[in-house]
Structure 1
């Protein structure tokens, strides 16, 4: 390992070779702590405030360590940023010969077999999908990685993607005729050979939970695991250690079985009759859940004879299809794969329907055209610890939002990290001078319901006029966002950008380029969004981001804490909301030259006893309750630039 000061110090390698690099003592201190953990082993939990430069603080030690390092981050966008921008920058500056690789989940790679099958079938539902398929076919001859992120012209949520990518359910692995040219196989091979591999939490947990056959060769060879955006990991891990069955999975099984039947058999018409019957039962099940979109505990439907009866019928349909596929087993690799999927789905359905003795949380959720049945572990700390012991390298967990106040008591127990070393570094930004925190007077209690969003719109209109647009309005619910968007349409003279009206990346690009826009967003805009400079000078947050008390997983955890004699609100709900609020607040000041106003409309922040927990966790901004101070703040900005 090299001297960290020689790299990250005021006269270090990065200061001399990276444009815009600024020395930060907090970054250097974090890099030294990461270096020590990598060299000596063990577990480090570290919070690095916005602007610390935590990415460089862990990439420098990772690249010079000579070890096999896995870097796991929260989203595909952050993966791409790490791999395409940050890693090359640091590696080139250090002139180290480390091989680096990017590995995403299988649904991010073109599946040649499924694309060719879709082309042959010619049964797409719209001209738009046909056009998209032709674009993908043309691109398939040029791409080296097969990463569908290269195709910017096709939206992330386009209906064509499931037809040209694979899942663990429908991939036939080494039996596939296109296996030798498979983009996913090549990406995994490069990852196994690389010194530093960038993955995401979903892949990390998929391997941990042994849900991705063929991926398990990567992690056992690693010496060090760096988990960025670690505050997201407990929820991702909970989902992966549980089981899920969705209507989409079932319909895809029926469709794929019919396709493979026509390709590989064709002489047992009962199979197509059974796939049609299975599809109808799946659609019937969605209908009996009702029209509302909801998430609920299993007990909400366990006494509903129509739902329970349809679930029993679904089990029978899966059994009937499995019996037919067993009768022609060996006729084709595709049909054999469908048989295995059918049996596995029936096992999952049985485990969810009949798991009354377990502590696991059984719940359901409905979407417009589909549903999901879930079984989620109540506590994953033991399981996560067991997996860490199977991978006994050094572990670094980091994020800008892991602590509540100055303590990690909320994060550590969730993953069983009680004995880990911990460290915090505050943001180097000059918050008292760069930012103003405004809590308006006279706001109604958000729990009163009627009139709260209207009151937010009134105060936000005043603030946005003072800031001349350049604002994020962040909401805790889609309902409040839609209402606010309707009300603001006639109140503001600035461009209004609303989540859902275009892809997230497009909205952000438009926000940056316009320079005076107002963007309304919910959860996905609270974190992982980086808008530097004057384009974002105001963040308005509608209320403290407590999770919905009706969420079945949250409710089960609350009940379990209460049974143990704990205080669920102060021990779980408040800390969760503090971390979410810190993420939202973190959108405002992204650089040493940024200035801005934070508006938190929720009066509970100052009126409730738990408010101090939020206050103690926020950056040290100047505070006011007077709108005139907000107007003066922006007037001063105009005077400074005059």
Structure 2
């Protein structure tokens, strides 16, 4: 097999290979070939490979080719559903045809991505829709539901993926009736799982991957035992997502959905049991008092230890628990009357038990988890989160001999992978870096504006944002827009949008939050002279090539905000081990995140541009050099004229 794979890689990546024949102007990339060789060897030897592939390596084909050529059964997990669809709809079919292999490929998403015909019927019969547009959306989904073959809501172009109607017509692990559903044989989720069972390669996403490892309820668990290769693309996201799914949570969304579903099923299966309807209404009414009690506290995320003595919060949670008890009692009466009510009884009991477990701290007792509360304007969630999910992840990695490929453009802080491998508990993994093929020294300038204030405190943060805008303003003029301005807080983003809206009227501004991310990017590309302002979601997974993007500004080093209860617990755990939290957590996290943001600038061999980093600590603090040395080797300058000249046409520069 090894010799065949080696010959296969020559045929794929060589100067006369399949890719050269398929793409005009194709140039072999040594890094991509090296990546494919490393993955081929990992598949052959069934070991774990942690591989950082720099921007421009061609990461997707770099791992797809050796997986396809191996003939092994594989799972490929991506960071987002968008990348998942791109792999399934474009990259895999394209490369499969080029290689001439007959690999069967399937797409598997979480159940909330598929239309539920049973809940669609319930919504049509009984839902009280407050807006006309909701009724129109429901009818559009019904029409699409008659045509669709796989029920994937991403294909329903008539209704946006973020429309409020979707929770009414999709299922969750909580409200799915399973085999008791009268439309089970027509279930799109069941059909998707059946296709996955028969496929050679299954494409999933990290949320489904981690949810299933934690819950064993989404269909992926049935696939893992027979899988020879697992590829985790954008693997830097896995530790944080895993912590979320390996923890436990109970919140207002689940309570509200339980109350709403009880009302619906009461009308459907127990119309004469008015006590059930009253209990559902009482449960719904118990949510807002909890939200109001939490609203009197400034922080959005607080450790439970600081709230457990707050009598107002405790009393409101007591009332919520009592409302759950009342609903459970009514459902025990109604459950024999229908499958829907029987399912609701199980959900209500589980929710009651989860609330009790949180308040009693059963999962926190061993010190490996932290209880905390997240509040928003109209909702709340009670979390129990593992301080580190590495143990659970490692047990799956070691569950059977297979190859695990974890790859991303950003996994190391400089050349140090220890932050990632420690969080994943991968003591024996082979760690490799494949450098970017781009000539950063000639393609990009890194501008470090002089004399900027430090972004400290509320007033200092405001002054820093304004100073950063003053520093980048002449460059925006020189570039004629074509810029990303990336911020570490929504407050800074808002201030920048207001300021530039007054002083940069000749260029179109595209501000995160005003439209969907995809719409903003499409409009930015089409404008040709736009300035896009974004926060964290625009730091990674965004690909704008060519002259449409020639200037990127990042306002400050992306250190995590202080006060987060989970981070505080992780810091304490590091201290208990004799490690320094800043050195072993905060700094490598900031480097990895900053590398993601910097990676937006140069996306192709023909790209040129300027990266502006507006945090003076990069020049004044000892760790600043460590951060700068971990970035691509761009030409550095503190002279704004050098940065400006890089953006001007050659006959104008100077």
Q: Shift of the alpha carbon at 1:318? A: 1.4
2:428 to 414, 419, 427: 419
1:326 to 314, 324, 332: 332
2:292 to 279, 287, 298: 287
Aligned to 2:382: 373
Name the Cα RMSD after superposition.
1.5
2:169 to 164, 182, 188: 164
Q: Shift of the alpha carbon at 1:638? A: 6.4
Aligned to 1:346: 352
Check if 1:308 corresponds to 2:275.
no
Unaligned runs of 5+ in 1: none
2:366 to 358, 365, 374: 358
Q: Shift of the alpha carbon at 1:198? A: 0.7
1:458 to 470, 476, 479: 470
Check if 1:526 corresponds to 2:539.
yes
Aligned to 1:435: 444
Check if 1:181 corresponds to 2:186.
yes
Aligned to 2:499: 487
Provide the aligned length of Structure 1 versus Structure 2: 640
Aligned to 2:638: 625
Aligned-partner Cα distance in 1 for 2:175–2:24: 47
Aligned to 1:276: 281
Q: Shift of the alpha carbon at 1:167? A: 0.8
Q: Shift of the alpha carbon at 1:613? A: 2.1
Check if 1:547 corresponds to 2:560.
yes
Counterparts in 2 of 1:5-16, with a 5 A limit?
5-16=10-21
1:116 to 121, 134, 149: 121
Cα pair 1:254 1:276 within 8 Å, conserved: yes
**CA deviation string 1:445-485 (max 9, x = no partner):** 01133411111221122221111100000000001100110
Relative to structure 1, the CA distance from residue 122 to residue 385 in structure 2 (aligned partners, 3 Å threshold; closer, same or farther) is: closer
Unaligned runs of 5+ in 2: none
Aligned to 2:83: 78
Counterparts in 2 of 1:248-287, with a 5 A limit?
248-287=253-292
Relative to structure 1, the CA distance from residue 638 to residue 125 in structure 2 (aligned partners, 3 Å threshold; closer, same or farther) is: farther
Aligned to 1:568: 581
Cα pair 1:47 1:425 within 8 Å, conserved: yes
Aligned-partner Cα distance in 1 for 2:629–2:183: 57
Aligned to 1:230: 235
2:570 to 539, 545, 557: 557
Check if 1:59 corresponds to 2:68.
no
Aligned to 2:302: 296
Aligned-partner Cα distance in 1 for 2:273–2:423: 51
**CA deviation string 1:84-105 (max 9, x = no partner):** 1111111110010001111111
Aligned-partner Cα distance in 2 for 1:26–1:130: 53
Aligned-partner Cα distance in 2 for 1:133–1:127: 10
Aligned to 1:596: 609
Runs of 4+ in 1 over 4 A off after TM superposition: 637-640
Q: Shift of the alpha carbon at 1:293? A: 7.0
Q: Shift of the alpha carbon at 1:612? A: 2.1
Relative to structure 1, the CA distance from residue 336 to residue 619 in structure 2 (aligned partners, 3 Å threshold; closer, same or farther) is: same
Relative to structure 1, the CA distance from residue 638 to residue 31 in structure 2 (aligned partners, 3 Å threshold; closer, same or farther) is: farther
Aligned-partner Cα distance in 1 for 2:193–2:45: 29
Aligned-partner Cα distance in 2 for 1:617–1:102: 36
Aligned-partner Cα distance in 1 for 2:290–2:195: 43
**CA deviation string 1:592-641 (max 9, x = no partner):** 1111100000000111111122112100001111111111112245669x
1:390 to 384, 399, 407: 399
Cα pair 1:210 1:216 within 8 Å, conserved: no
Aligned-partner Cα distance in 2 for 1:397–1:526: 20
Cα pair 2:77 2:233 within 8 Å, conserved: yes
**364-373 or 482-491, which moves further after superposition?**
364-373
**CA deviation string 1:63-103 (max 9, x = no partner):** 12111100011101111111111111111100100011111
Relative to structure 1, the CA distance from residue 163 to residue 299 in structure 2 (aligned partners, 3 Å threshold; closer, same or farther) is: same
Q: Shift of the alpha carbon at 1:170? A: 0.7
Check if 1:400 corresponds to 2:412.
no
Q: Shift of the alpha carbon at 1:112? A: 1.1
**584-593 or 308-317, which moves further after superposition?**
308-317
Aligned to 1:583: 596
- The two structures have a TM-score, normalised by structure 1, of 0.97
Counterparts in 2 of 1:90-105, with a 5 A limit?
90-105=95-110
Aligned-partner Cα distance in 2 for 1:53–1:178: 44
Q: Shift of the alpha carbon at 1:578? A: 0.5
Aligned-partner Cα distance in 2 for 1:454–1:605: 18
